Amino acid sequence: MSALCDEINMYNITWSEFVNENLVVRYMSGYLTENSFNVMNNLYLSEYSNCSFPTLIKTNNVLWNMWIQMDKIYSSYSLDYGKTWSNPKEDYKSTQENIIRYKFVTNNKEDIKKYRLDAAFGTYCCGISFVGFTDIHEKKDGF
């Protein structure tokens, strides 16, 4: 499970859910009030497959959801606070290198404003680089 509260105080939550004998990435967003959680969106983002470790990252007004599916990193992004999502895309770099999940910790207040995340996927051999990010300026599938 991964969760974050964005700059408009919307809570974004993602997790793997067991559906029809498969793990599927599920996403939910909403607002927390005194007595309840008001759900705005509640959808499935992945195929019915072996999807695990969904991870939310928000940077530069783009909300990313990344996960592991059949030992590969897949990602989907939203430009409208999670209302609509791009079709999931495989990061081919994740099939060529060993991948780990990094925990994000910083004491830099500017980093905290710019990057909202708890963890991210990346490489660790021969240099650290993050994986799962695709070019959002390509033709936008799923919008």
User: Is 138 a domain residue?
Assistant: no
Compute the mean pLDDT over every residue in the chain, rounded to the nearest whole number: 84
% of the chain at pLDDT higher than 90: 46
Whether pLDDT at 7 is above 80 = yes
Give the pLDDT band (50/70/90) at residue 53.
very high
Around 57, how many Cα atoms within 13 Å sit in the side-chain half-sphere?
24
Q: Which tens digit of pLDDT belongs to each residue from 54-72?
A: 999 898 889 999 999 988 8
* Number of domain units in the chain: 1
Structural domain including 71 reads 2-130
DSSP calls for 70-129: TTEEEEEEESSTTSS-PPPEE-THHHHS-EEEEEP----HHHHHHEEESEEEEE-SSS-E
Please check whether residue 36 lies inside any domain of the structure. yes
Higher pLDDT, 140 or 132: 132
> Which is higher by pLDDT, 102 or 91?
91
Mean pLDDT, residues 69-82 taken together:
92
Rounded distance, CA 143 to CA 128, Å? 32
On whether the CB atoms of residues 13 and 25 are closer than 8 A, the answer is no
pLDDT at 140 over 60: no
The answer to whether residue 135 sits within a structural domain is: no
Confidence of residue 143 (pLDDT cuts 50, 70, 90): very low
Residue 85's CB: how many other CB atoms inside 10 A?
22
Mean pLDDT of 5-26: 92
- The per-residue pLDDT for range 94-125, each reduced to its tens digit, is 777 777 776 777 888 887 777 777 777 777 77
User: Would 42 be classed as within a structural domain?
Assistant: yes
Contact 11, 37 (CB under 8 A): yes
Distance from C-alpha of 112 to C-alpha of 134, rounded to nearest angstrom? 22
